[in-house]
Amino acid sequence: MYHFKQNMTDYIWELENWPKFKWDETVLLSSLSTARLRQGKLIQKISGLLELDSKQAEARIFEAEALKTTLIEGEKYNPESVRSSIHRRLGLDYAGLPQTERHIDGLIEVLFDATHKFDEILTVERLYSWQAALFPTGYSGLQKIIAGQFRNDINGPMEVVSGSIGRERVHYQAPPAKKISHEIKLFLSWWNGQSLSLDGIIRAGIAHLYFVTIHPFDDGNGRIARALTDMAIAQDDKLNKRYYSLSTEILKDKRKYYEILEKSQKGDLDITKWLLWFTDCFSAALMTSENLLENVFYKADFWRKHQILEINTRQKKVINKMLDAGKDNFVGGLTTKKYLGMTGISRITAIREINDLLSKNILIQNKGKGRNVNYSIKW
């Protein structure tokens, strides 16, 4: 939103030594160590997955990030459309999923570009392309915006506000439009040069705050800042796979996110508290990812343990669907009718293949008789 502001508050971009951030490394040490430990464990698990399992893991994380990064901005995307866009891009099965939508494809394109092409240089043109991809129609909701270019402030200073009309509270005012080109030039010089010697997590946290403080676009600044965070982490660990969703953690306490952001933008360039919050948030995101990917990891481990068994492609297809659904999500268990529906074979063959899986201790029979007989994975 745009509003004119009566009294100017000092923001960090107005300070003489901007953008020379400072922080206390000793305060961050414990949080940073915890984050690194969790990061290492999760990467080790991800790296041990087979290609298909790895893609499925990445799809789940991409879906979480895409849905949550837009919810932070107050927008709600169709999960099925998001999943469709991700599966098409990763080469996964998208049968039954709807056609993709331009703005959703644009968001997924940005998230993929940031991680899968992390080693490509960051330029003004690349930032333009990201922002234009987020708003393919040139509108943000019902409001016409400048897409693929920096804002011009024709309607007044760029401000972050809350509250109803007439009772607005200004949380932050960004640098004027005439300064953006210079500020972004400094940012890109920092990103592509001197920042590379910093700890990767610290660099990601600074990049997030730095970019969103410049606020160069009419809209999409938060989403791009979070994409830059992902790109910085990918450059640090040299892993072009998404394995965590920072936006999922931010959304859990969005108020805290905006509060620490506002305080940091009105401070004295000592961003220790921001970096401590960011590192803790990143660490929590790693834990959430491990829980989110529990089924993927279990599925991979399951097939490693049963790799010597002879199982035909139909049986494997059914078991994979049950594993993907998780322990509590395959409602009613596996029945002969469901097996028939998934494989298209005769009833006699279905019964024989189910009995084969029972004999190999892959399935167990649940309580019930006659038509109520059903089976579950032997977890």
For the stretch 18-71, pLDDT in tens is 999 999 999 999 999 999 999 999 999 888 888 888 898 999 999 999 999 999
| Predicted structure pTM score | 0.83
**All structural domains of the chain with their residue ranges:** 12-293, 306-377
Bridge partners of 365, per DSSP, are 375
CA atoms of 81 and 101, how far apart (whole Å): 7
Taking only the tens place, the pLDDT of each residue in 98-134 is: 999 999 999 999 999 999 999 999 999 999 999 999 9
Classify domain 306-377 at the CATH class level.
mainly alpha
Sign, Cα dihedral of 309, 311, 313, 316: negative
Taking only the tens place, the pLDDT of each residue in 122-175 is: 999 999 999 999 999 999 988 999 999 999 999 888 888 776 666 777 889 999
User: Which comes out higher in pLDDT, residue 355 or 53?
Assistant: 355
Classify domain 12-293 at the CATH class level.
mainly alpha
In this predicted structure, the answer to whether residue 236 has a pLDDT above a threshold of 90 is yes
Tokens representing 234 are 């990918």
